[in-house]
Amino acid sequence: ITMNARQLLHFFELRCHKSAQWEIRDMAGIMLKICNIKYPVIFEDLWQDYGVTEK
C-alpha cells in the first residue's frame, strides 16, 4: 500500500476516531506514532487531537 501525506492524514482522522473499530484504532495509533516521530511538522496536530501524549 502506498499513501501520500494527505491520504495518511485522512486515514488517521477516520481510523483514530473513538467511533472506529478498536483493532483498527489501535493499529492506526501505532502508525500515527511512527509518522509523528519521523514527520512531526505534518502529523503533530493529529497527534495532539487524539490525546496521545507520549512519543
Q: What positions carry a catalytic annotation?
A: 15
String of DSSP letters for 31-45: HHHHHHHH-HHHHHH
What residue has cell string 477516520?
A: 14
Q: Which one, of 2, 42, 17, lies nearest residue 34 by Cα?
A: 42
